[in-house]
Structure formats: structure tokens, C-alpha cells
């Protein structure tokens, strides 16, 4: 008996690209490991501005806004990893100390709590990873086929063997404070364990009506849940409270409008639901790492011609 066809999904993918123009801040529903192959860029996220170049690796938790301004151009290879897949790796890495998979999830949240890290591994170690990354890209160009999964996993393990010792690990005391701001999160759209329908409805309503003044009470009523239930199941699904998720969506949309619309910043802020320009600027900076006016300036920069030399 043959297996029934299923929707294409893989817990790990790799993509290589060259960026010449500013990249809008966007949040992905998975963990990202961005290896800088060549060039240089200014990275902006909720934890400020970082300059990255060859030998650097950017680590982003799920649902973390991040954009970039290349200095001419930048070449990167990005690993996209489902959080559950990473939890499984951590579980087996520390199998002697964990009793169940939930222990690994809690350990990950407690010790790897930074939503954004820039890891300086150096050009030599980055160069060692390039053949493995290139093979991962080739394997996953059309979605990772099941018969090559173990080869891909071995390549990811080789990359992690070099990278993980450089990752900053928080102690549990400081990690708790960070998680209250922005926790590493489960994927935004679960492809193998569905999100509760009422939670998906709330997320879709927020995306469709960004400019509305929402309250958690209104959203809970929409979902036919209590306020406490909504908060709990929404954080389980998206890693953020409903209002924090709305803030992320507004900042994402505002960044796009700042790039394509010449309207005053106050009008653009109002379009996404922030009637107070000062409050809008504060929330945008917290989410993106730069002010709206600075982001607009970045978006107007004409990229230099591509010159790998």
C-alpha cells in the first residue's frame, strides 16, 4: 500500500540569496539562522541595530521582526528550522537530564531566550560551513524529499557543531525577564498540529482590521473564550499575547507603507491603527529597531551596483 500524498512540508529548509536593496522588516513563523557569506549590511530588529559581515550568523526566534540595509550588497544563506524540530534536537542532546519532551521546551525557553543574536564565528569557521550549506540549499530547493532527510539532518548537525558553542546562553533568572518582553515562539502557522480554530480566527481578524482599536475583551468575545483562556491559547499558538501580535502586524505594515507611500508618517501611523504619532514612533522603534523617519530614509537609499570585488 502506497502512502497518500501530503502537502509539502519540511522542518528544515535552506536558501541562498543576494540582496542589493533594503529588506523590509518581516516576521517568520520559524527559527532562522542567517549565515553571512559576503558583503555587509546594517540589521535592524526589536533589539536595535547591528552591523553584520562575512563570518557573522544572525539567529532569529520565530515571530521576531527583522530588516536589513545592505551596504551595496550582501550574500547570505538562511536555515529555516521549525521550533518543534529544534526542541527534538535539544531533547536528545540532553537526554540524560530530561524526562520528557516538555523539559526540552522549557530548557530552550529558559536558556536561549534572546529573540535576536548576532554570533561572530569568524571567516574561517564560516568558510567551513559553506559546502554543507550549499548542499542543504540544493537538497531543499523544491522542498526536502523524505529520502534525503537524514542527509540534510546530518548537514544541519555539522553546522550546529560549529555554531552552538558561540551562542550566548542565558541563566534562568535573566531569561525570565527577557521572555516577558519577547519569548522564543512556536510557529505562527502549525502545519502538522493545527492551531485551535478560534485562535486562528482572532489572528485573521487582527490582520484584516489593523486600524481598529481592539481590546482583549472584544477579541475574547469574538473567540467565545474568557480573557484568560484567550491569552493562554494565543500565546501557545503564536508566542505572543493578542495585543503584542497586533503590534507586530502594525509595525510590519507600517514599514511597508513607509517604503511605498509618500504620505506623512502621522497619516501612515493612523492607517495602521496608531492615532498618536509619538506612540506610533515608540512602538515602531521597539519592534523594528529604528524610528519611522530613519526607516523611510533607509528605504530611499539607492543601492550601489553589485561588485563582488
Backbone angles phi, psi at 88, to 5 degrees: -60, -40
Average pLDDT, integer, range 150-157 = 94
pTM for this prediction: 0.71
Q: What's the mean per-residue pLDDT of the chain?
A: 82
Of 255, 189, 179, nearest in space to 28 by CA: 189
Domains and CATH numbers, the chain: 12-166 (2.60.120.280), 197-300 (1.10.10.60)
Higher pLDDT, 244 or 177: 244
Residue 97 scores a pLDDT above 90: no
Amino acid at each position: 500500500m502506497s502512502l497518500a500524498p501530503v502537502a509539502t512540508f519540511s522542518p528544515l529548509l535552506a536558501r541562498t540569496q543576494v540582496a542589493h536593496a533594503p529588506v523590509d522588516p518581516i516576521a517568520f513563523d520559524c527559527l532562522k539562522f542567517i549565515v553571512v557569506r559576503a558583503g555587509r549590511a546594517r540589521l535592524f530588529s526589536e533589539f536595535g541595530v547591528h552591523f553584520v559581515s562575512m563570518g557573522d550568523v544572525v539567529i532569529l526566534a520565530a515571530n521576531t521582526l527583522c530588516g536589513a540595509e545592505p551596504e551595496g550588497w550582501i550574500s547570505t544563506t538562511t536555515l529555516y528550522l521549525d521550533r518543534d524540530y529544534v526542541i527534538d534536537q535539544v531533547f536528545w542532546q540532553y537526554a540524560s537530564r530530561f524526562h520528557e519532551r516538555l523539559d526540552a521546551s522549557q530548557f530552550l525557553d529558559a536558556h536561549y531566550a534572546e529573540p535576536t543574536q548576532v554570533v561572530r564565528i569568524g571567516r574561517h569557521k564560516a568558510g567551513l560551513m559553506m559546502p554543507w550549506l550549499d548542499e542543504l540549499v540544493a537538497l531543499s530547493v523544491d522542498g526536502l524529499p523524505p529520502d534525503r532527510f537524514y542527509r540534510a539532518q546530518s548537514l544541519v548537525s555539522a553546522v550546529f557543531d560549529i555554531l552552538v558553542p558561540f551562542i550566548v546562553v542565558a541563566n534562568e533568572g535573566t531569561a525570565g525577564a527577557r521572555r516577558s518582553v519577547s519569548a522564543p515562539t512556536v510557529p505562527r502557522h502549525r502545519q502538522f498540529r493545527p492551531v485551535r480554530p478560534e485562535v486562528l480566527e482572532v489572528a485573521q481578524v487582527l490582520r484584516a482590521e489593523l486600524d481598529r482599536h481592539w481590546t482583549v475583551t472584544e477579541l475574547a468575545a469574538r473567540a467565545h473564550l474568557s480573557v484568560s483562556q484567550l491569552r493562554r491559547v494565543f500565546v501557545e499558538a503564536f508566542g505572543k499575547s493578542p495585543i503584542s501580535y497586533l503590534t507586530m502586524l502594525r509595525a510590519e505594515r507600517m514599514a511597508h507603507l513607509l517604503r511605498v507611500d509618500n504620505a506623512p508618517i502621522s497619516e501612515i501611523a493612523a492607517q495602521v491603527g496608531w492615532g498618536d504619532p509619538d506612540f506610533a514612533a515608540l512602538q515602531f522603534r521597539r519592534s523594528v529597531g529604528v524610528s519611522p523617519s530613519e526607516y523611510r530614509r533607509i528605504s530611499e537609499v539607492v543601492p550601489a551596483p553589485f561588485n563582488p570585488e
